[in-house]
């Protein structure tokens, strides 16, 4: 917070570049060059605090990646491509590599993945949990029941719900505050919301999902002494699938009881 504000984007850029596979020296060299536009090894060394004699290696690395050009003079001058071009370059490369990964994994995956009837699996982190929920939504054929707190009702989820609704899946939402009601109404008008006959109003909250009476998921925001409540990582969930799955059986019982009581058809 009280740090020098100019170092903030600097360090962010360096971190990302390193995670994209550049060495520490190469990352810092490129960041230095990017802010200089162009410069000599000495220039770079001064602003990046990379030992001057190592700048040349770093430049080699960057040159081979195609994001730095070299002027053959004495002293050599180095030129960094623009921020926009650099970003595009990395984006291209990563798009290629994710494509390779995708096809490789698909060829690898067994054609039919039989589901674990007995298992109850744990997932950690809000992002990962949301991914599971969305995946379950995509597999829904008849009915989705979903209870959540507003914090956890992200755009991804609404998209998944509206897609399911388009496939004639009946959707029942609970635990929604009045504030969010409108957003839901917009995105998924077909959704039928049931009152937040909810008991955990004072608990850390979480979510609760059932799809086609075959797949269920429960999550809670665990507030350990170290984890802040807003930390997206502090959500933990368990899920299971299969008609005989214990978690499924329990939740199915609760849901049918509650829902049928709330509105008997």
Q: Specify the residue, 134 or 180, whose C-beta has the smaller distance to its own copies.
A: 134
Q: Does 38 engage in binding with DNA (CB under 7 A)?
A: no
- Within the chain, residue ranges assigned H as helices are 7-19, 24-36, 41-48, 52-65, 83-108, 126-139, 155-166, 178-187, 246-262
Q: Contact 39/58 with Cβ under 8 angstroms? A: no
Q: Which does 23 bind (CB under 5 to 8 A by kind): its own copies, DNA, none?
A: DNA
Q: Does 20 engage in binding with its own copies (CB under 8 A)?
A: yes
Contact string 69-88 vs its own copies (x = CB under 8 A): xxxxx---x-x-xxxxxxxx
d(CA 208, CA 247): 11
Collapsing DSSP states into helix, strand and coil, what is residue 219? strand
Interface pick for DNA out of 57, 156, 159, 231 (rule CB under 7 A)? 57
Interface pick for DNA out of 35, 38, 56, 158 (rule CB under 7 A)? 56
Q: Does 139 engage in binding with its own copies (CB under 8 A)?
A: no
Stretch that binds its own copies, among 41-49, 117-125, 147-155, 183-191 (CB under 8 A): 117-125
Q: Are strands 68-71 and 215-221 parallel, antiparallel or unpaired?
A: unpaired
Contacts of 256 (CB under 8 A, 6+ apart): none
Q: Which of positions 12-31 make contact with DNA (CB under 7 A)?
A: 23-25
Q: Does 54 engage in binding with DNA (CB under 7 A)?
A: yes
Q: Does 24 engage in binding with its own copies (CB under 8 A)?
A: no
d(CA 196, CA 120): 27
Interface pick for its own copies out of 4, 74, 105, 230 (rule CB under 8 A)? 105
Stretch that binds its own copies, among 90-98, 177-185, 194-202, 256-264 (CB under 8 A): 90-98
Q: Contact 205/126 with Cβ under 8 angstroms? A: no
Stretch that binds DNA, among 49-57, 118-126, 168-176, 200-208 (CB under 7 A): 49-57
> In residues, how long is the chain?
265
Q: What angle do CA 213, 215, 219 make, to 5 degrees?
A: 120
Q: Contact 78/69 with Cβ under 8 angstroms? A: yes
Report, in Å, the least distance between residue 116 CB and DNA: 15
Interface pick for its own copies out of 23, 47, 52, 89 (rule CB under 8 A)? 89
Enclosing H/E stretch for 241: strand 235-241
Contact string 26-65 vs its own copies (x = CB under 8 A): -----x--xxxxx------------------------xxx
Interface pick for its own copies out of 24, 42, 75, 97 (rule CB under 8 A)? 97
Enclosing H/E stretch for 209: strand 206-211
Q: Does 181 engage in binding with its own copies (CB under 8 A)?
A: no
Report, in Å, the least distance between residue 92 CB and DNA: 23
Contacts of 54 (CB under 8 A, 6+ apart): 25
């Amino acid at each position: 917070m009280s740090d020098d504000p100019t170092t903030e984007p600097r360090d962010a850029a360096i971190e990302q570049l390193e995670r994209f596979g550049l060495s520490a020296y190469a990352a810092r060299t490129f960041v230095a060059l990017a802010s200089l536009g162009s410069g000599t090894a000495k220039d770079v060394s001064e602003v990046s605090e990379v030992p001057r004699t190592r700048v040349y290696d770093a430049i080699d690395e960057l040159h081979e990646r195609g994001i730095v050009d070299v002027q053959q003079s004495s002293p050599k001058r180095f030129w960094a491509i623009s921020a926009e071009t650099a970003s595009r370059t990395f984006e291209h490369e990563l798009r290629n590599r994710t494509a390779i990964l995708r096809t490789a994994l698909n060829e690898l995956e067994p054609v039919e993945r039989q589901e674990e009837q007995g298992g109850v699996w744990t997932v950690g982190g809000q992002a990962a949990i949301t991914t599971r929920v969305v995946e379950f939504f995509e597999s829904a054929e008849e009915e989705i029941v979903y209870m959540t707190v507003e914090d956890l009702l992200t755009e991804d989820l609404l998209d998944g719900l509206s897609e399911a609704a388009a496939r004639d899946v009946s959707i029942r939402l609970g635990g929604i505050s009045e504030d969010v009601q409108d957003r839901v109404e917009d995105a998924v008008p077909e959704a039928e919301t049931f009152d937040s006959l909810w008991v955990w109003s004072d608990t850390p909250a979480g979510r609760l999902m059932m799809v086609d009476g075959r797949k269920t998921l429960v999550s809670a925001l665990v507030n350990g002494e170290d984890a802040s409540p807003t930390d997206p990582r502090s959500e933990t969930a368990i899920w299971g699938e299969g008609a005989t799955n214990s978690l499924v059986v329990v939740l199915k019982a609760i849901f049918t009881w509650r829902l049928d009581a709330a509105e008997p058809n």
